[in-house]
């Protein structure tokens, strides 16, 4: 079963402009990036919490995502 966090991640991953914008935001303010991800989910009716996003991202085998998570943990 696909979680909402996974659905939202897939949507964002396939939108290069949104993905780039979120990544840049995360580098400067990871907490704001998580809030923005949750807002995007709300707009798309794919509701997620910050905790669900973090838990899902921990399962993703992608170097850029892992680097972002390290940054996010330091900023949260």
Q: Average of pLDDT values for 9-31?
A: 88
Determine the structural domain holding residue 29 and report its residue range: 4-75
**Whole-prediction pTM value?**
0.80
pLDDT value at 6 more than 90: yes
Residue pLDDT, tens place only, 24-61: 888 888 888 889 999 999 999 999 999 998 888 888 88
Higher pLDDT, 7 or 71: 7
List alpha helices for the chain, DSSP H: 4-13, 16-28, 30-43, 50-57, 63-75
| Average pLDDT over the chain, rounded to an integer | 85
Structural domain tally of the chain?
Answer: 1
Determine the Cα–Cα distance for residues 38 and 57; give it in Å rounded to an integer: 13
């Amino acid at each position: 079963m696909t979680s909402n966090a996974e659905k939202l991640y897939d949507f964002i991953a396939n939108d290069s402009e949104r993905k780039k914008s979120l990544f840049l935001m995360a580098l400067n303010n990871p907490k704001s990036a998580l809030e923005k991800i949750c807002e995007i989910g709300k707009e798309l009716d794919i509701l997620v919490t910050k905790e669900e996003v973090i838990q899902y991202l921990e399962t993703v085998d992608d170097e850029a995502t892992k680097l972002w998570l390290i940054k996010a943990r330091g900023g949260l």
